[in-house]
Amino acid sequence: MPIILNHVNHIYSAGTSYEVKALDDVSLTIDDHEFVGIIGHTGSGKSTLIQHMNGLLKPTSGEILYNGQNIHDKDYDRNSLRAKVGLVFQYPEYQLFESDVFTDVCFGPKNLKLSKVEVEARAYDALNLMGLPKEKWYSSPFELSGGQMRRAAIAGVLAMKPQVLVLDEPTAGLDPKGRDELLDVLSRMRTDEGMTVVLVSHSMEDMSKYADRVVVMNKGKLVMNGTPGQIFSRYKELEQIHLSAPAVTYIMEELRRAGLSVPIDVRDVDEAAEAIKKIIL
Amino acid sequence: MFTDITLGQYYQTKSVLHDLDARVKLVGTFLYIITVFVCNSITAFIVAGLFLTFVIAISHVPASFMFKGLKGIAMLIIFTVAFNLFLTPGTVIWQYGVFHITKEGIRIAILMLLRLTLLISGTSILTLTTTPSNLTDGLESILGPFQKVGVPVHEVAMMMSIALRFIPILMEETDKIIKAQTARGADFETGNLFTRAKNMIPILVPLFVSAFRRASDLALAMEARCYQGGAGRTKMKPLHYEKRDGAAYVILVVYTTVICVITW
Amino acid sequence: MCPRFYNMNFIETEKVIFEYIERDEEGNPVKVKRALDDVSISVKKGQFIAILGHNGSGKSTLAKHLNALLYPTEGKVLIDGMDTLEDPNTMKVRRRVGMVFQNPDNQIIGSVVEEDVGFGPENLGIPTNEIRERVDESLKILDMYAYRLHSPNRLSGGQKQRVAIAGVIAMHPQCIVLDEATAMLDPEGRKEVIRAARALNDVEGMTIILITHYMDEVIYADNVFVMSEGRVVMQGTPREIFSQEESLNALRLELPAVTKLAAKLKRAGIPVHDGILTAKELADALVL
C-alpha cells in the first residue's frame, strides 16, 4: 500500500516573523516493500516530511494518500493509519515510561483495543524481532544499556504491526556495534516481514549499504531522488548542500586523480576492492 | 503546539528598556503591580494603561508578539472575569436560572479584566526585555542583604536562571514526546477528567526522566567548570547604574505619585 | 620552569581501578562493578590523544578521572604532578583540564552565548574586564564571535559544542578532554568540532584528549588508546593500531574505509603496506 505525497507544503508559524517553510512542494511516492533512505542537512525538512507520512502533521497545502485515500479526509480514520505507518522518532528511548520493558511494548497494541492475548503476543514477537535478550524483558527500561533501550523503544512501535516503518535517525548516538546490529534488524524487517522501511540517516555508508532508493532534501525541497549509485555520483552537488558522498567515493576520486581509471559509483569497500583488482591484477 | 507560548521569553532587540539596569526594571515592575492593585477608578486605569502603552512602545517588542503571549493565558482571564460577572451578589439587572448579572458584578468583572491584562502584560515586559541572567543578577543584587541572614539568595538566583534556560528545551521535548506517544496510538483528547489525567502518564514519566537526566548532566558540567556556589565568584557583567537608570527612577516615582493622587 | 618538571608527563594514571556498587530498585547493593581495571596511561604536554572504545568500555569513566569528577578506588591519577585524590588539588586540576561533554544542550548554562562562555572565568574569580577579554578571545578562536549575543537554543549541534569548547578555553586550561563530544552530532557538526580540536592543538599547543567511537576521527592523533571492558587493550600510533585489523574486528571497531580497502587489496595480493590512513597514501601505494 503505497504512500503518495502530492505537492505537499508545510509552513511553521505562518504569518509571524518566525515563519519557516519547512516543506516546499514535495511530491514523493513510497512503494510497497521498498527501503527508502532520506538524507539532508539538519533543518532540511526531513523530520517534518516523515511526520506527514502518518498524519501527525497536516500539510499547509497538498495531499497525502495512503492506499489511494486522502488521509486528511473528514471521515478518514487516522488512528488506524498510525498503526499501519509506524513512526520511530529520534532518540526513541526517551519515550519509554512503563515500569518494565514488556508492559511498555504493550502500550501501542493496547491502544489499538486488541484483546489481551493478542497484545501480549505482539509484544512478544516485537521484542523477539528486535533481538532484545529475554532476561531484560521484565526489568525497568532505565536499567538497559543505550542500545538495548533503543531496541525496546523500536519494538514498541513494531508491536503495532505496521506495514510501513519510518525511522528518524535510529542509529544516532549508538556505537558502531549497536549501529550495525540495529540496521541488520531493520533490513530483515523488510526481507523477512515484508515491511516497507523509510530511513532518515546522516550516514551515507548506511544509505549505500541498505537503501534501494535515496531521496535528498534541501531547504524543504526534494532535490534528488534515485538509486544510491545515481545519487552519490553527483557528490559535487551533494557537497554544495552540506552533504557528502560515502568515504569510498572520495577514495575512488583520489585514485582517479592519481591516474587509475577506476569507477566512481561503487557502493561500498567490497565493490571498490573488486574494481581496483580488475585494473591492477 | 507548546513552542508557541511566548509569555515570559526574552525578545532580542535594541531599545532603551533593554539597556536599563535590571534592578530598575525589577523595582519598576514591583511598583507597577502595586499601582495596578490600588487602582480603583477608570481614570487611574487609564493612567496605568497609558503608562504601559508608553513602556511597550519604547521596548521595541512588537505588540503582536506580546498579545500572542497573552493568548496562552486567555482562558484564565476569561474564567476569572466570568466568575466575578456571574457570582457577585448585589443589584440584579439580568437573571437566568442560577446565573445572574449584577451591577456590582459588572464593575468587578471590568476591574478584574483590566487588572489582569495590565498585570500580565506589565510583568511580561520585564522578562521580554531582560535576559534571564540579567534578571537573576538583578534579583541577587536587590535581595543581597538577605544573604547575611542566611537566605540562600545566590542559589535561588542560579536555580531561576537555569530553569529559564531549560524551559524552551523542555517545551520542545514535551511536544516531541506527545507526538511520539500519539504515533503509538495514545489518545489525549477523549474521555473524562480522570482518564485524561491517567493518559498523561506516558508524557509525564518520560518528561521527568529527561529533566532529571539533564539536571544531573548539568550539575556535572558546572562542577567541571569549577562552580562552587556564590562565594568567590566574580561577574562578567556587573550591575552599575547609568544616567538613564536615574531618569527611569524619576519617571517611576512620578507615575506612582500620579496614581496615588488619583486614588486617594 | 622548575627543573624537576622537565620530561614529566602532564597526565599520568598509575594502575587505576574504579569500582562502584550496583544497586537494585530498593537501593540495596547487588554487586560491585569494576568500570576501570588497571589503567595506566601517560600523556605529554601538547599531545593529541585519542581514546577509542564501545559504550561501556570505560572510556568516559576514565575521562572523568582526568578532571577530578571521579576519583580512583585504587591507584593514582596525577595531573601536572598533582594527585587528584588530595582535596586542595581538585580546583587546580579542574582549572588545568577542561571538559566537553556529549550532550550539547545539557552543558550550556547561560541563556546567551557569551554569558555561558563567561561562566567558568566567573567561577574562578577573574576580574570583570579580564573576563570580557577572555570571552571575546575564546569565541574568536572557535569562530563563534558573531554569535556571541545569540541564544544557544537556536544554534546547530556543532555550534553548541564549539560554544562549550569556548567556555572551557576561557578558563585557560592546558588540556581539553572531549568526552564523546561528537557522538550526538551530524557529520558536519562532527567535522566542525574535530577541526576546532586540531586547531587548538596545532596553534595553541593545547593538549587534547579525544574520546570517541568514530575511528575516522582518530587518524590525526599522536597516540591512540583502545579500551574494552575497563582495560586498555591496545595502544600505539593510529598507523600501528589500524594495522591490527583482526584485533579491531574482534572488538567490533570499524576501520576507516581507506584502511579497510587497503587491507582487502593486500589480501588479494596487491602490494600495499599496512596501516594506510588516507586516500592519498593508498593512491601512492597503488600507482608506484
The DSSP string of chain C is: --GGGTT--SEEEEEEEEEEEEE-TTS-EEEEEEEEEEE--EE-TT-EEEEE--TTSSHHHHHHHTTTSS--SEEEEEETTEETTSGGGHHHHHHHEEEE-S-SGGG---SSHHHHHHHHHHHHT--HHHHHHHHHHHHHHTT-GGGTTS-GGGS-HHHHHHHHHHHHHTT--SEEEEESTTTTS-HHHHHHHHHHHHHHHHHS--EEEEEES-GGGSTT-SEEEEEETTEEEEEE-HHHHHT-HHHHHHTTPPPPHHHHHHHHHHHTT----S---SHHHHHHHHH-
Chain A residue with minimum CA distance to B185: A111
**B133, B164, B228 ranked by CB distance to C115: nearest:** B133
The helix/strand count (H/E) of chain B reads as: 11, 2
Neighbours of chain B (3+ CB pairs under 8 A): A, C
Digitized pLDDT (tens) for each residue of chain C, 288 residues in all:
444 444 578 999 999 999 998 877 677 888 888 999 999 999 999 999 999 998 889 999 999 999 999 999 999 999 999 999 998 899 999 999 999 999 999 999 988 899 999 999 999 999 999 999 999 999 999 999 999 988 898 899 999 999 999 999 999 999 999 999 999 998 889 999 999 999 999 999 999 999 998 888 999 999 999 999 999 999 999 999 998 988 988 888 888 889 999 999 998 888 888 878 889 999 988 886
Residue of A nearest to C283 (CA): A255
Q: Do C135 and B214 touch (CB under 8 A)?
A: no
Q: A257 with C285: CB under 8 angstroms?
A: no
Record: contact A172-C187, CB cut-off 8 A: no
Domains held by chain C: number: 1
Give the residue-averaged pLDDT of B141-152.
87
In chain B, the residue whose alpha carbon lies closest to the alpha carbon of A106 is B184
CB–CB of C121 and B133 under 8 A? no
State residue B248's pLDDT score. Answer: 93
CA distance B245 to B21: 6
CATH number (domain holding residue C110): 3.40.50.300
A277 vs C contacts (CB less than 8 Å): 265, 268, 270
Interface of C with A in 95-124 (CB under 8 A): 102
Distance of CA C222 to the CA centre of its chain: 13
The pLDDT profile of chain A, 281 residues, written as one tens digit per residue, is 799 999 999 998 776 666 888 999 999 999 999 999 999 988 899 999 999 999 999 999 999 999 889 999 988 888 889 899 999 999 999 899 999 999 999 999 999 999 999 999 999 999 999 999 999 999 999 888 888 999 999 999 999 999 999 999 999 888 888 888 899 999 988 998 899 999 999 888 888 889 999 999 999 999 999 999 889 889 889 999 988 888 899 999 999 998 888 988 888 888 899 999 888 87
Whether C109 maps to a domain, the answer reads: yes
Main-chain dihedrals φ then ψ at residue C275, nearest 5 degrees: 65, 40
> Residues A142-166: pLDDT tens digits?
888 888 999 999 999 999 999 999 9
**pLDDT recorded at residue A17:** 65
pLDDT at res. C7: 57
User: Given an 8 Å threshold on Cβ–Cβ distance, is A272 in contact with C156?
Assistant: no
In a domain, C267, yes or no: no
By residue range, what is the domain housing residue C192?
9-79+86-237
pLDDT in tens, B179-197: 999 999 888 877 788 888 8
Interchain contact, B209 vs A86, CB within 8 Å: no
pLDDT at B39: 83
C269 close contact with A: CB closer than 8 A: yes
Burial (CB count within 10 angstroms: exposed 0-12, middle 13-18, buried 19+), residue B22: buried
> Does A250 sit within 8 Å of C261, measured CB to CB?
no
Contacts of B37 (CB under 8 A, 6+ apart): B115
Amino acid at residue number A92: P
C111 closest CB neighbour out of B164, B218, B223:
B164
In this prediction, residue C227 carries a pLDDT of: 95
Question: Quick check: is C268 in a domain?
Answer: no
Position C3 scores a pLDDT of 44
**What's the CA angle centered on C165, arms C162 and C166, to 5 degrees?**
85
Cell of B25: 526594571
B:102-121 residues touching chain C, CB 8 A cutoff: none
User: What's the whole-number mean pLDDT along residues B125-133?
Assistant: 84
ipTM of the shown complex = 0.89
Q: How confident is the model at residue B1 (pLDDT cuts 50, 70, 90)?
A: very low
